[in-house]
Chain A
Amino acid sequence: MFDLIVIGGGVNGTGIARDAAMRGFRTLLVEKRDFAAGSSGANSGMIHGGVRYLRYDRAVTELACIDSGYIQRIAPHLLFRIPFLFPLRAEDPSDPTLQERFLRYGVEVYLGLYDVYQPHKRGKASAVLTAEEAYELEPALARDLIGAVSFDEWGIDPFRLCAANAVSARDHGATIRNYARVTGFLRGEGGRVRGVTLRDEATGAEEQHEARAVVLACGPWTPKVAALAGVEVKIRPGKGVHLTLDRRVSNYGIICKAVDGRDVFVMPHEQTSIVGTTDDDFYGDPDDLPITEDEVGYLWQAATRSVPSLVHSRILRAWAGIRPTLYEYGKLEDDLSREHALRDHAADGAPGLLSLVGGKLASYRIMSEEVVDAVERILGVEHRPCRTHLEPLPGGERHPDVAALAKAHRLPQLTVERIAYRHGSNAEAICELADREPHLRAPICRCEQVIAAELVWSIRREEGRRLLDLRRRNRLAMGPCQGMDCAALAAAVLAREASLGPAQQRRELHDLLQLRWKGQRPVLGGENLAQEELSRSIHLGAGGEAPLAERIPERSEAAGQAGKKGEGAPA
Chain B
Amino acid sequence: MTGLRGRVAREAIAADVVVIGGGLAGTAAALAARRSGRSVAVIRRSWGATALSHGVLDLARDPLAAPHAPLGERRSVAASIGALALRRPRHPWAVLGARLPDLARVLGAAGEETDGRLVFADLEAENRCLLTPLGAIKTTAGGQDTVLAGDLLRGGAVGVVGFVGHPAWDARLLAAAANEAAGAAGLRCTALPIETRFLQRADDYALRPHQLAQRIASDPDGLAAAIRLALPAGVERLLLPPLLGTGDPRPIRAALEEKLGLPCAELPAASAAPLPGLRLQQMLEALLEARGVQLWHGEVFSRDGTPGALFVREAAPPLLDPSHFDAGRAPVPHEPPAAHRVRARAVVLATGRFVGGGIRGGAALREPVFDLPVEGDARAGEAIFAAGVRIDERLRPLDRDGAVRAPGLFACGAVIGGNDPARDGAGLGLSWFTGWLAGEAAAAGGA
6 nearest CB pairs, A to B: A439-B165, A543-B136, A502-B177, A442-B205, A542-B270, A545-B67
Contact A543/B52 with A439-B205, A501-B176 known, Cβ cut-off 8 Å: no
A485 at interface, CB cutoff 8 A: yes
What's the A-B contact tally at a CB cutoff of 8 Å?
151
Check if A113 is an interface residue, CB within 8 A of chain B.
no
Residue on A nearest B267 in the bound complex, by CB: A542
Q: Is the CB of A502 within 8 A of B135?
A: yes
Residues on B with C-beta less than 8 A from A536 are 385, 422
Of the listed stretches B278-286, B352-360, B399-407, chain A binds B352-360
Q: How far is the CA of A506 from the CA of B131 in the complex (A)?
A: 13
- Cβ-based interface call for B234 (8 A): no
B241 at the binding interface (Cβ < 8 Å): no
Please tell me if the beta carbons of B422 and A540 are within 8 angstroms of each other in the complex.
yes
Flag whether B220 is at the interface (Cβ < 8 A): no
Decide yes or no whether B378 CB sits under 8 A from chain A: yes
Question: Nearest A residue to B136 by beta-carbon distance?
Answer: A543
The yes or no answer to B4 lying at the interface (CB within 8 A) is no
In the complex, chain A residues whose CB is within 8 Å of the CB of B385: 532-533, 536
Name the residue on A nearest B135 (C-beta).
Answer: A502
Contact with B along A481-520 (1 / 0, CB 8 A): 1001100110111011000011101100100000001000
Instruction: Check A509–B381 contact: CB distance below 8 A.
Output: no
Contact with A along B257-293 (1 / 0, CB 8 A): 0000000000011111010000000000000000000
Q: Please state if A541 and B378 are interface contacts (CB–CB under 8 Å).
A: no
- Cβ of B379 within 8 Å of any chain A Cβ, yes or no, is yes
Task: Judge whether B134 is part of the interface by a CB distance below 8 angstroms.
Answer: yes
- Say which residue of A410, A439, A530 sits within 8 Å of B355 (CB atoms): A530
Partner of B167, one of A444, A540, A545: A444
For this complex, into which size category does the number of interface residues on chain B fall? 35 or more
Q: Does B186 contact A (CB under 8 A)?
A: no
Given the known A-B contacts A442-B205, A537-B422, are A484 and B272 also in contact in the complex, defined by CB atoms under 8 Å?
Answer: yes
A contact set with B: CB distance below 8 Å: 293, 410, 438-439, 441-444, 452, 481, 484-485, 488-489, 491-493, 495-496, 501-503, 505-506, 509, 517, 521, 524-526, 528-530, 532-534, 536-548
Nearest-CB distance from A396 to chain B (Å)?
30
Complex: A534 Cα to B273 Cα, angstroms: 11
Asked if residues B384 and A506 are in contact (CB atoms below 8 Å), the reply is: no
When distances are taken between beta carbons in the complex, the residues of chain B under 8 Å from A502 are 135, 173, 176-177, 180-181
Q: Determine if A481 and B136 form an interchain contact, defined as CB atoms under 8 angstroms apart.
A: no
**Chain B min CB distance to A134 (Å):** 26
Residue of A nearest to B138 (CB): A543
A501:B180 contact, CB within 8 angstroms: yes
**Complex Cα spacing A501 to B174, Å:** 10
A305 to B172, CA, bound (A): 54
Question: A442 with B272: in contact, given A533-B385, A543-B134 (CB under 8 Å)?
Answer: no
Instruction: Assess whether B173 is in contact with A538, with CB atoms less than 8 Å apart.
Output: no
Instruction: Find out whether the CB atom of B135 lies under 8 angstroms from the CB atom of A442.
Output: no
**Considering only CB atoms, which chain A residue lies closest to B273 in the complex?**
A485
Q: Bound state CA distance, A484 and B273, in angstroms? A: 11
Contact of A503 among B180, B271, B422 (CB under 8 A): B180
Using CB atoms, name the residue of chain B closest to A526: B361
Complex contacts, B246 vs chain A, CB 8 Å? none
A455, closest chain B residue (CB): B167
Known: A442-B166, A545-B67. A539 touches B361 (CB 8 A): no
In the complex, 12 of the A-B residue pairs with CB atoms within 8 angstroms, ordered by the A residue number, are A442-B166, A485-B272, A492-B135, A502-B135, A505-B177, A525-B362, A525-B363, A528-B361, A537-B52, A540-B423, A541-B138, A543-B132
Across-interface contacts of A489 in B (CB, < 8 A): 167-168
Most buried by A among B164, B205, B384: B205
Please tell me which one of the listed residues B54, B130, B137, B362 contacts residue A537 in the complex, with CB atoms under 8 A apart: B54
B417 in the interface, Cβ–Cβ < 8 Å? Answer: no
CA gap between A480 and B205 in the complex, in Å: 22
- Contact of B173 with A525 in the complex, beta carbons under 8 Å: no
- Does the CB pair B49–A537 fall under 8 Å? yes
| Cα separation A347 to B121 with both chains bound (whole Å) | 75
- Which B residues are in CB contact (< 8 Å) with A485? 271-272
For the complex, give the distance between the alpha carbons of A489 and B166 in Å.
10
The answer to whether A443 touches B421 (Cβ under 8 A) is: no
Q: Is the CB of B355 within 8 A of A526?
A: no
| CB atoms of B54 and A539 under 8 A apart | no
